Amino acid sequence: MATGKVHFTEEQSTNLATLYGRALDNRLPRPILGDPTAEETVRKIDYDFGKFKMKPDMALSVAMRAKVIDERVRAFLREHPDATVLHLGCGMDSRVYRIDPPRTLRWYDVDYPDVIDLRKQVYPEREGYQQIGSSVTELDWLERVPADGPALVVAEGLTMYLDPEGGRALLRALAARFPSGEMVFDVFGSLGIKLQKLNPVVRRAKATLSWGIDDAHELERLGLTLVEELDASYFAAEETVSLMSPAMRLQLKLALMIPLFRNMGRILRYRF
């Protein structure tokens, strides 16, 4: 089955670049993430993925970020098999299939209506799995999600696209709605926002990033407690470094020596 021609905004089309990155990773003899659904989905979507000119290094970093976040999701769900998962700015990510949670768990994928329309053509809903088409910062959608137990909020490649005020209101509302839970998401520091056009995915999609977070403790004011902060060194796992080009290896080595660059892109985990 092929989808109709895709017409996404610049911001939305970044999700096709990251999807393609995971598909390219899956073509490696020993993938980092290993997501066959990403490959199948790329084949089904009528879109010129070549326009992203995605280099193997970029695909590696997309796959590594997804893998690190998946590990946090799995760990939370082992402790809370009855949780509600909110996967915000899910794009075309097949995380729900990678994690494959029990049907008793409730998993919601949330993104703009156009993105959810495309998702529904390739990712069927099933018991315990629903997709919500809404801007995450228009908070009415939250009313559709039961708030009777622990929640896991996951957002990969989302926060930097939100306006800071809307992003903070979203996190505050999420923390207030559920009795307990965790949030795991990646952020850019303000330098990452300033240098956004150096990011090939953002540049080629002509997207704009707005929210930079330098101090992870700053978000604790919203009712969160910081439990983990991963800087760029999470890319330096041996399995990833061995697959990098020499130029990327050098870039990473230099980035790890300079705190400002080391902190440009991080993964944060909070409890609430």
Which residues are at the interface with ligand SAM (CB under 6 A)? 11-12, 14-15, 18-19, 89-91, 93, 111-112, 115, 135-137, 156-158, 161-162
Distance of CA 106 to the CA centre of its chain: 19
The distance of closest approach from Cβ of residue 250 to ligand SAM in the complex, given in angstroms and rounded to an integer, is 26
The distance of closest approach from Cβ of residue 245 to ligand SAM in the complex, given in angstroms and rounded to an integer, is 22
Tell me which H or E stretch contains 186. Answer: strand 181-188
Give every CB contact of residue 181 below 8 A, 6+ residues apart in sequence.
Answer: 83, 150, 151, 152, 153, 271, 272
What does the chain come to in residues? 272
In the complex with ligand SAM, the residue whose CB is nearer, 92 or 219, is 92
The distance of closest approach from Cβ of residue 99 to ligand SAM in the complex, given in angstroms and rounded to an integer, is 14
Instruction: Return the closest-CA partner of residue 97 out of 58, 64, 124, 62.
Output: 124
Residues 33, 66 contacting (CB under 8 angstroms): yes
The distance of closest approach from Cβ of residue 34 to ligand SAM in the complex, given in angstroms and rounded to an integer, is 16
* Nearest-angstrom CA–CA distance, 58 and 216: 25
* Nearest-angstrom CA–CA distance, 60 and 42: 17
Tokens (6 digits) for 251: 């870039």
In the complex with ligand SAM, the residue whose CB is nearer, 57 or 111, is 111
In the complex with ligand SAM, the residue whose CB is nearer, 18 or 240, is 18
Q: In the bound complex, which residue of the shown chain has the CB atom lying closest to ligand SAM?
A: 91
In the complex with ligand SAM, the residue whose CB is nearer, 80 or 98, is 98
Q: What are phi and psi of 92, to 5 degrees?
A: -105, 25
The distance of closest approach from Cβ of residue 110 to ligand SAM in the complex, given in angstroms and rounded to an integer, is 6
